[in-house]
């Protein structure tokens, strides 16, 4: 993997500098971390139950999932770190901590896209009453895959012989969404948003930032692309978040207004919360806080020394305050993700 430092093309200036002041963030308590983990695994289980009902009977009650989405919204508004960390975790980690089989490419993927989309929407100031619709559209957008056989739904989807079916069915969730019952909720609005997500990129070309803030479908679409690349549920090996961002940046610049690109990368960050990196000191660290004005210089917790040995007490360092220390490359490691999941 190509090494990266602050002197290379992927820098703060490219992505723009937001107006928000930098915030001091406290460590995450074990009690709060556990509460957020329960919320994450609960919504995965609830969504899996809904998908199973849709596949077996053709109908499902979506009230429990809507309530779970409301809990996620409140949690993100309070402290986003643990939920974003879980969204960046490998699917294998989620699978190991559930007592049931799940349709990973629909369920885990949908939950992660929902969390990313809601995080950005909250930062943009999307009205509270509309956040549940953003969450629902993000989580439901791949229900069309329920038309696949049970065996294929539980497969890793890395075989070329199922790719055509995946592309075909993922584009048509409508027949399942219309059979979901949710009290006091406008189902047609969910379908409308999903239709916008799936529209050709050219329809969003050179959209102004002010207009795009209210085009929630754009947020969901970008989060969908990011989640696919960083977990690679259909296309082979997962990319690190920074490599996924670089790939998206190169592809997005032909379709989106530069302000949209800057906004997306500043809000989600090229080094997302919960991801791991190798520092110029050869130490390995976890991203625990993002400095939005200096996105390539986040706050980290060093977990492995320069010889790869685990540190008994991880050291917290704000890279903005250490000009001689920088990130060399991203690290994708399931063991580190699980061992230090609560570390913020």
Q: State residue 51's pLDDT score.
A: 94
Distance (Å, whole) CA 136 – CA 193 = 9
The pLDDT of 91-120, averaged and rounded, is: 88
Q: Ranked by mean pLDDT, which of 67-71, 162-166, 216-220, 320-324 comes out on top?
A: 67-71
Cα(63)–Cα(75) distance, rounded to whole angstroms? Answer: 19
pLDDT tens digits for 3-37?
Answer: 444 334 344 443 333 334 444 556 767 788 889 99
Catalogue all structural domains in the chain, each as residue range(s) with its CATH number: 12-269 (1.10.3210)
| Sequence-separated (6 or more) residues with CB below 8 Å from residue 63 | 181, 182, 183
Tell me: pLDDT of 69 over 60: yes
Which position has the higher pLDDT, 64 or 91? 64
Q: Tell me the torsion sign for CA atoms 310, 311, 313, 314.
A: negative
Q: pLDDT band for 164, please (50, 70, 90 cuts).
A: low
Tell me how long the chain is.
344
Q: Which of 14-18, 106-110, 171-175, 190-194 has the lowest mean pLDDT?
A: 14-18
pLDDT at 11: 44
Average pLDDT, whole number, for the chain?
79
Range with the poorest average pLDDT among 74-88, 149-163, 314-328, 329-343: 149-163
For 117-160, the pLDDT digits (tens) are: 999 889 888 889 889 999 999 999 889 888 887 777 765 544 44
Q: With both helix axes pointing from N to C terminus, report the angle between 216-231 and 107-124 in degrees, rounded to the nearest 10.
A: 130
Task: Find residue 61's DSSP bridge partners.
Answer: 181
Nearest to 187 by CA among 171, 203, 175: 175
pLDDT given at position 234: 46
């Amino acid at each position: 993997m190509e090494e990266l430092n602050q002197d290379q093309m992927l820098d703060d200036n490219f992505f723009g500098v937001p107006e928000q002041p930098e915030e001091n963030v406290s460590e995450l308590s074990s009690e709060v971390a556990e509460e957020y983990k329960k919320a994450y695994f609960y919504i995965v289980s609830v969504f899996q139950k809904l998908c199973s009902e849709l596949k077996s009977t053709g109908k499902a009650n979506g009230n429990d999932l809507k309530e779970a989405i409301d809990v996620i919204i409140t949690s993100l508004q309070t402290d986003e770190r643990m939920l974003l960390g879980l969204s960046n975790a490998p699917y294998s980690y989620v699978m190991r901590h559930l007592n049931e089989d799940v349709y990973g490419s629909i369920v885990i993927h949908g939950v992660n896209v929902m969390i990313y989309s809601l995080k950005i929407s909250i930062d943009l100031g999307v009205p509270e009453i509309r956040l549940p619709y953003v969450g629902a559209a993000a989580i439901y957008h791949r229900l069309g895959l329920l038309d696949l056989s049970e065996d294929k739904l539980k497969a890793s989807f890395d075989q070329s012989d199922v790719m055509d079916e995946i592309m075909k069915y993922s584009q048509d969730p409508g027949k399942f969404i219309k059979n979901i019952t949710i009290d006091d909720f406008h189902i047609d609005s969910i379908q409308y948003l999903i239709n916008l997500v799936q529209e050709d990129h050219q329809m969003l070309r050179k959209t102004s930032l002010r207009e795009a803030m209210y085009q929630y479908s754009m947020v969901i679409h970008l989060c969908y692309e990011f989640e696919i690349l960083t977990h690679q549920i259909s296309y082979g090996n997962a990319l690190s978040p920074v490599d996924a961002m670089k790939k998206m940046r190169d592809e997005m610049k032909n379709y989106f207004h530069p302000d949209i690109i800057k906004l997306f990368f500043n809000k989600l960050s090229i080094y997302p919360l919960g991801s791991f990196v190798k520092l110029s000191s050869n130490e390995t660290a976890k991203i625990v806080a993002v400095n939005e004005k200096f996105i390539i210089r986040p706050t980290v917790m060093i977990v492995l020394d320069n010889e790869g040995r685990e540190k008994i007490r991880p050291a917290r360092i704000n890279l903005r305050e250490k000009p001689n220390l920088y990130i060399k490359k991203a690290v994708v490691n399931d063991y580190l993700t699980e061992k230090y999941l609560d570390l913020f």
